[in-house]
Amino acid sequence: MNQFNYIRPSKQQAAIDAVAKDGNAKFIAGGTNLVDLMKRGVMAPQKLVDINRLPLTKIERQGNALRIGALALNSTVADDRQVRERQPLLVQAINAGASAQLRNMATTGGNMLQRTRCPYFYDTAMPCNKREPGTGCGALEGINRMHAIFGFSDKCIAVHPSDMSVALVALDATVLVSGPKGDRRIPFTDLHRLPGDAPEKDTTLEPGELITAVDVPDGPFTKHVSYYKVRERASYAFALVSAAAALDLDGTTIKSARLAFGSVAHKPWRLTAAEQMLVGKPATEETFRQAAAVAMQGAKAFKHNEYKLKLAPNTLIQALKTAAAA
């Protein structure tokens, strides 16, 4: 592993300044992804700014939302009484990710910012525009069975691997950010970006900007929810496809719905058109099939991931059925 300078500020502003002033500096929190990438030589920051001393671990009510601190551990969030009562979809999504050990290390902010698991990104002997801009995309004509079916570009077809983020995008969360130019709020759907011509940029965060918390607004989605994750073994694997479904039911009629796909695009993939289509309809399998058809509009497969064109709608239908029955 490369050598690096290490700093452990106790003040948020000092942490932000340290990264804002040094293009080769990175924040480190749980380290579950960054340490892995550094060991493989995929990332080689010259300076690590350890933010674990910053007071960003709280989970508290803030107006009509739950505010989850950026340093709240995945396991802490999933076990939190308020989160379990108000946001069961988020709990399911977090617990579908990684392992118990990793959830004890991974933080809320870090989970959002994890890098893709595209094998060409990880293999430093292969071309990858995300790792080394301008070198090409190894996956485009390579083994692309894990890759995107929505929102890709000819520069990058990688997918975002976070489970937690799929629930957060469905639940209309807002990310709180602090940076060299002050504080701002980013709707979760705008945090991650599509690859376009700059796949090296995963998010819309500016240099030095630090995620401090995420607000998850109260909603009616406290019962009929499901995070349905399909993977190649029963647990502890990244998704081939996942779907988050949250329904507000009046008897068997759908009052409102929140839907998102995971592992189909460069960002967690919100399905607003399918959500709108569900409003006022009966919560039946036939309705769910129609919604899945709407959700899949515009999907396009590559050589090895054609299965996702069937798997994704079926996963969404299963998530909706499970949510309705919950």
Partner 1 sequence: MNLESDKPAQHDEARRYFLKQSSLLTALALVPGPVVQAASAQFDETVAAAFEKVPLKLEVNGKKYKLKVEPRTTLLDLLRENLNLNGTKKGCDYGQCGACTVHVDGQRVNSCLSFAVMHDGKKVTTIEGLADADKLHPMQAAFVKHDGFQCGYCTPGQIMSAVACVREGHADSEGEIREYMSGNICRCGAYTNIVAAIQEVKNGGQKV
> Interface with partner 1 by CB under 8 A: which residues?
1-11, 14, 28, 30-32, 35-36, 38-40, 46-48, 50, 52-53, 75, 98-102, 104-105, 234-236
Tell me the longest C-alpha to C-alpha distance in the chain.
60
Nearest to 202 by CA among 242, 230, 238, 160: 160
The nearer residue to partner 1, 96 or 241, going by C-beta atoms, is 96
- Which amino acid would we find at residue 283? A
In whole angstroms, how close is the CB of 18 to partner 1 at the nearest point?
Answer: 8
In whole angstroms, how close is the CB of 299 to partner 1 at the nearest point?
Answer: 30
The nearer residue to partner 1, 11 or 184, going by C-beta atoms, is 11
Nearest to 58 by CA among 46, 50, 66: 66
The nearer residue to partner 1, 103 or 308, going by C-beta atoms, is 103
In whole angstroms, how close is the CB of 292 to partner 1 at the nearest point?
Answer: 27
Structure tokens, 1: 């592993």
Judged by phi (left if over 0) then psi (alpha if -120 to 50, else beta), residue 15 lies in alpha
Residue whose entry in the numeric block shows the structure tokens 């480190």: 28
The nearer residue to partner 1, 26 or 267, going by C-beta atoms, is 26
312 burial via Cβ count (<10 Å: 0-12, 13-18, 19+)? buried
The secondary element (H helix, E strand) that includes residue 48 is strand 47-50
The nearer residue to partner 1, 42 or 312, going by C-beta atoms, is 42
CB 96 within 8 A of CB 247: no
The nearer residue to partner 1, 52 or 252, going by C-beta atoms, is 52
In whole angstroms, how close is the CB of 254 to partner 1 at the nearest point?
Answer: 30
In whole angstroms, how close is the CB of 141 to partner 1 at the nearest point?
Answer: 27
The nearer residue to partner 1, 76 or 287, going by C-beta atoms, is 76
Measured distance CA(95)–CA(84) in Å, rounded = 12
In whole angstroms, how close is the CB of 232 to partner 1 at the nearest point?
Answer: 13
In whole angstroms, how close is the CB of 230 to partner 1 at the nearest point?
Answer: 16
Judged by phi (left if over 0) then psi (alpha if -120 to 50, else beta), residue 161 lies in alpha
In whole angstroms, how close is the CB of 236 to partner 1 at the nearest point?
Answer: 4
The nearer residue to partner 1, 38 or 291, going by C-beta atoms, is 38
At residue 200, φ and ψ (nearest 5 deg) are -65, -20
Structure tokens, 192: 């991650």
Nearest to 173 by CA among 246, 241, 280: 246
∠ CA 222-227-228, rounded to 5°:
145
Measured distance CA(83)–CA(63) in Å, rounded = 15
